[in-house]
């Protein structure tokens, strides 16, 4: 039997274990997951603290185009069959675990004051995680052009309607490749609208003709026709933008779409075999500027929000925004045109509760073994440098003699969850509270050396990229490609802050359920998460009525001192509450401008210190916790799942080249599936849903 070690229990590693443990491989493969500490999830881990409160690594929102991630979750819940096996569990199906969220927004500073800019995206009947529905070949520049041009038609119709009828523009963003129908013509305003729409329809036809022309001489005339048409539309919207705030915002979006169309045509992405990848060496904002995007658009919350959501600031410096242009085009296309059901999906409990606990249960039933409390220390090469000959682990804890395996889960209000500390009743001796950090005291750890042929045959490296320099020293010394990957693909620390409230967000002045980005430092992203309170176990006397999550990038220099970094995030949270929270919670600020600390839940005193100590914050500076960035040109340094250069080592994580080279759940799931395919000798993208770019199939 072939023995496979999965080194790391994050999304990518568990996805690989899921595919390798399919019933068809049960007689051929033995799969073991090695995990430091007491819980699974990696950067997506969550646990339950005091009163069962959900404590996350950061803010996790699933997007509607995450087909592979949703497919995994759907399979897990179907196999668990909780309605039959655990009918009292409050989350029994994937639809119990996730709810659609179509209301999103960004924040905009206008003449020194911040304003909300929110939108409701049209839902559709498609379901994420299925091969059918709205999602399609959006990694194709041709499809992107068609959909973007049709969106321009909606903008133009909306503009004409506003001009003639003094109404706000009625633009609807939809995942459908066809634009929404407008009411039938019936007057001069409708005639003007039809004329303008006809111009855009002609543009759509010209774009399709350009795609079909390929490299033929006719393409140059079509190219000029398209660029001239885009210039006319751009002037039209520049004029409209001066009339009102609503039109200016719509004009920014139209200008962004026009710049994307113009750049796609000018840079010949329609015929370049690399597709979007042909411009991945450029920064997205700089690429837009090169193709005529207005400075107001480049400074708009639309663009800033995109950078915020992917922590796209070099070394965590907000004055150095950097993000691959090709990936920016792909993500915009996926987010706005390929979502299924809803643009966002909220989890109905912590990510550890709705994703990792069910995965652990289902994998355990399949026979996958878990080795908790085992830290990966080093990979060792064979004498001929062609394979991994040995793996050194550090055993962090010993189980009691009567136990074969550690049970990591507890139950909170009927829901299996990971606790915030090890279940010491299963351990032989007390353990330290820092088992999940790279800097923990290792003097009590027992070294464990695993040998190829005796303990394992193949290994999947599914740690975070930040850990590679610490666990793969021999590989870095031997392989130039590994050295290039580590130096060429960057990670960045992040920070998060969760607050529990004595007053509802609605009473404080905010719209519950809304997620916004693009706000002021230190926390640029805010998500209303009060819908999770029912999953926590607060006593009635606590009177907790709301909860809010905040996150942002953290300067790389903060990683030098983890303790100081934690204190810095605490200071950032205090600064955010005392200086900036009034924009979201006006009722939390007194007439003299001071923050009312009794808004925060605190079991004792209600002063600043006691109130802050009762909240939860994290400085994600550990090498395994840092976010993998997509800086311009970095995709060239990423290795694919089967490109380790060693015949029994495969790679999984959102840091490999998987076709979606971004730090997100979907990328990690895709990478895990590709690692499993590589182990099994299948084509890398076998069974992977969607259309992507830059990865060999």
Q: Are residues 484 and 500 in the same domain?
A: no
Average pLDDT score over residue span 490-504: 97
Strands 491-492 and 29-34: unpaired
Give Rg (Cα) of the chain. Answer: 26
**Please, are residues 87 and 137 in contact by the beta-carbon 8 Å criterion?**
no
Task: Pick the more confident residue, 155 or 250.
Answer: 250
- Are residue 275 and residue 372 in the same domain, yes or no? no
Cα separation, 82 vs 414, in Å, equals 12
Tell me how many helices (H) and strands (E) the chain has: 21, 24
In a domain, 687, yes or no: no
pTM of the shown model: 0.92
425 and 309 in one domain? no
The pLDDT of residue 238: 73
Count of domains observed in the chain: 3
Determine, yes or no, domain membership for 216.
yes
| 344-347 and 410-412 strand pairing | unpaired
Three-class secondary structure assignment of 595-634:
ECHHHECCCCCCCHHHHHHCCEEEEECCCCCCEECCCCCH
My answer on whether 332 and 231 are in the same domain is yes
Closest CA to 335 of 310, 298, 301, 354: 310
pLDDT digits (tens, 9 = 90+) for 171-196: 444 333 344 444 444 443 443 444 45
483 and 564 co-located in one domain: no
Residue 363 has what pLDDT? 98
The answer to whether residue 405 is domain-embedded is yes
Buried b (16+ CB within 10 A) or exposed e, 543-573: ebbbbbbbbbbbbbebbeebeebbebbbebb
Cα 47 from Cα 536, distance rounded (Å): 11
Q: Are residues 467 and 483 in the same domain?
A: yes
Q: Do 430 and 507 belong together in one domain?
A: no
Domain membership flag for residue 695: no
Same domain, residue pair 293 and 220? yes
Are residues 462 and 393 part of one domain? yes
Most confident of 229-238, 266-275, 374-383: 374-383
- Give me the count of residues in the chain: 697
Query: Which structural domain range is residue 570 located in?
Result: 494-620
Q: Encode pLDDT of 444-492 as tens digits.
A: 899 999 999 999 999 999 999 999 999 999 999 999 999 999 999 999 9
**213 band by pLDDT with thresholds 50, 70 and 90:** low
CATH assignment at residue 661: 3.50.50.60
Q: What is the pLDDT of residues 119-162, one digit of tens each?
A: 788 888 999 999 865 444 556 777 777 777 767 666 555 555 55
């Amino acid at each position: 039997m072939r023995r496979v070690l999965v080194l790391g229990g994050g999304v990518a590693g568990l996805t690989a274990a899921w595919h390798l443990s399919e019933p068809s491989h049960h007689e051929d493969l033995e799969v073991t997951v090695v995990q430091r500490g007491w819980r699974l999830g990696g950067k997506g881990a969550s646990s339950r603290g005091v009163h069962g409160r959900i404590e996350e690594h950061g803010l996790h929102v699933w997007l509607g185009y995450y087909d592979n991630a949703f497919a995994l979750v759907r399979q897990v819940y179907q196999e668990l069959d909780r309605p039959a096996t655990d009918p009292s569990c409050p989350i029994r199906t994937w639809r119990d675990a996730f709810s659609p969220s179509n209301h999103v927004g960004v924040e905009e500073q206008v003449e020194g004051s911040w304003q909300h800019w929110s939108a409701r995206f049209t839902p559709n009947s498609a379901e994420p995680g299925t091969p059918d529905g709205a999602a399609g070949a959006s990694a194709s520049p041709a499809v992107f052009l068609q959909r973007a041009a049709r969106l321009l038609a909606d903008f133009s119709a909306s503009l004409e309607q506003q001009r003639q009828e003094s109404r706000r523009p009625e633009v609807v963003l939809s995942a459908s490749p066809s634009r929404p129908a407008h009411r039938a013509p019936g007057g001069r305003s409708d005639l003007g609208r039809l004329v303008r729409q006809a111009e855009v329809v002609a543009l759509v036809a010209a774009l399709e003709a350009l795609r079909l022309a390929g490299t033929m001489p006719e393409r140059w005339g079509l190219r000029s026709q398209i660029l001239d048409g885009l210039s006319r539309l751009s002037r039209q919207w520049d004029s409209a933008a001066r009339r009102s705030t609503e039109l200016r915002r719509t004009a920014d979006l139209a200008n962004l779409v026009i710049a994307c169309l113009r750049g796609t045509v000018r840079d010949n992405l329609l015929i370049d075999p690399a597709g979007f990848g042909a411009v991945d060496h450029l920064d997205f904002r700089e690429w837009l500027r090169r193709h005529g995007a207005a400075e107001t658009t480049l400074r708009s919350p639309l663009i800033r929000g995109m950078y915020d959501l992917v922590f796209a600031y070099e070394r965590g410096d907000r004055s150095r925004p950097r993000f691959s242009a090709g990936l920016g085009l792909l993500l915009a296309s996926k987010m706005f045109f390929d979502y299924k059901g809803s643009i966002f999906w909220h989890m109905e409990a912590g990510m550890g509760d709705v994703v990792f606990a069910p995965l652990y249960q289902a994998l355990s039933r399949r026979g996958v073994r878990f080795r908790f409390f085992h830290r990966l220390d080093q990979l060792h090469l064979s004498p001929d440098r062609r394979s991994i000959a040995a793996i050194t682990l550090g055993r962090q804890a010993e189980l009691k003699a009567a136990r074969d395996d550690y049970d990591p889960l507890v139950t909170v209000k009927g829901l299996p969850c990971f606790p915030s500390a090890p279940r010491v009743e299963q351990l032989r001796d007390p353990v330290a509270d820092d088992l999940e950090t790279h800097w923990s005291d290792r003097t009590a750890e027992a070294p464990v050396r695993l040998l190829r042929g005796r303990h394992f045959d193949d290994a999947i490296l599914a740690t975070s990229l930040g850990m590679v320099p610490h666990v793969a020293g021999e590989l870095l010394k031997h392989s130039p490609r590994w050295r290039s990957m580590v130096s060429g693909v960057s990670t960045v620390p992040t920070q998060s802050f969760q607050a529990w409230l004595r007053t509802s967000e609605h009473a404080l002045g905010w719209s519950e359920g809304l997620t916004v980005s693009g706000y002021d430092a230190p926390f640029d992203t805010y998500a209303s998460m009060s819908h999770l309170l029912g999953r926590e176990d607060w006593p009635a006397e606590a009177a907790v009525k709301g909860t809010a999550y905040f996150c942002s990038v953290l300067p790389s220099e903060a990683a030098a001192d983890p303790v100081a970094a934690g204190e810095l995030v605490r200071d950032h949270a205090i600064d955010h509450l005392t200086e900036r929270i009034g924009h979201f919670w006006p009722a939390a600020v007194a007439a003299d401008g001071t923050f009312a600390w009794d808004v925060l839940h605190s079991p004792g005193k209600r002063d600043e210190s006691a109130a802050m100590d009762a909240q939860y914050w994290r400085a994600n500076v550990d090498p395994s916790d840092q976010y993998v960035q997509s800086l311009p040109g970095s995709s060239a340094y990423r290795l694919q799942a089967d490109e380790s250069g060693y015949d029994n080592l495969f790679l999984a994580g959102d840091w490999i080249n998987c076709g979606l080279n971004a730090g997100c759940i979907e990328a990690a799931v895709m990478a895990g599936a590709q690692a499993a395919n590589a182990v099994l000798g299948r084509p890398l993208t076998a069974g992977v849903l969607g259309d992507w770019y830059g990865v060999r199939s």
